[in-house]
Amino acid sequence: MAQHLDKDRIRRSFDRAAATYDAHARVQERLATELVARADGEPERILELGCGTGTLTALLRSRFPEARIVAVDFAEEMAARTRARVPDAEVIVADVEQLDLEEPFDLTISAATIQWLADPAATLARLAPAGRLLLATFGPRTFWQLRATGIEPTLHLRSAAEWEALLPLEVESEELDVVYPGARAFLRTLKRTGTANAGRGDPGALARALRLYDERFAVPGGVVATYELLFLASPAP
């Protein structure tokens, strides 16, 4: 079922984060690296959804030097960075949920983006009716510590079981604990990677929640935040 998303706000938030994204997107970089490691065969035509600043695009270009790569992102500032980083990729600025591409792709791939789609099943059925699908996203255990302090992320993150019910894909899940210098630094990282709504709302309540976070989730070197990484793949041919 489609969920309601404020796409304009999401897009603006990623546009604003374009200049700071690479310095803070360590986890997203890891998703992209792990995803490319799962790509097999010799795809001639690759479609990438939500290319951002081009981290995954550049890895794809190195791994498949001969492939035609079409990379899509609706945030112009993000897309411009992919264009500069991988000049021979075809970069399209568009909402992937509004896009129609006539061309068939051997591989459709996406890192840290499908959680931002209102109707990922319909979008993937339209854009990738055939070929291999490799997707990486975040599961609902992500930032459980934040929720425990009273900060409720507005984006619904689907579980492995929900994704399996939605799409004919195999899903693998792994947890990653990341240490940040403190709760405020953690929240800053979310903002600088474009995660909409991080730190919005009543400032007093936010300050209290962050103090609680610093107390409850202290570890050597700062505080811990858990990411649940989900890897979705169509069965290898």
Ligand X SMILES: C[S@@+](CC[C@H](N)C(=O)[O-])C[C@H]1O[C@@H](n2cnc3c(N)ncnc32)[C@H](O)[C@@H]1O
Binding site for ligand X (CB under 6 A): 10-11, 14, 25, 28, 31-32, 50-52, 55-56, 72-75, 78, 95-97, 111-113, 116-117
Q: How far is the CB of 194 from ligand X (least distance, A)?
A: 6
Q: Which residue has the CB atom at the shortest distance from ligand X?
A: 52
The residue (of 55 and 234) whose beta carbon lies closer to ligand X is 55
DSSP-H helix ranges across the chain: 7-24, 26-38, 55-63, 76-85, 120-127, 144-148, 160-166, 183-192, 203-216
Strands 132-138 and 222-233: antiparallel
What whole-number distance in Å separates Cα of residue 112 and Cα of residue 66?
25
Residue 56 Cβ vs ligand X, minimum distance, rounded to whole Å: 5
Token pair of 31, please? 């998703």
CB of 16 or CB of 212, closer to ligand X: 16
Q: Least distance from C-beta 219 to ligand X, angstroms?
A: 25
Closer CB to ligand X, residue 8 or residue 102?
8
The C-alpha atoms of residue 19 and residue 118 are separated, in whole angstroms, by 26
User: Which amino acid is residue 144, in one-letter code?
Assistant: W
Q: How far is the CB of 169 from ligand X (least distance, A)?
A: 18
Find tokens 């992102």 and name the residue: 73
Whose Cβ is closer to ligand X: residue 132's or residue 192's? 192
Comparing CB distances to ligand X, the nearer of 127 and 169 is: 127
| Residue 160 CB, nearest approach to ligand X (Å) | 19
User: For residues 183 and 126, what is the distance between their CA atoms, to the nearest angstrom?
Assistant: 40
CA triple 186-189-192, angle to 5 deg? 155
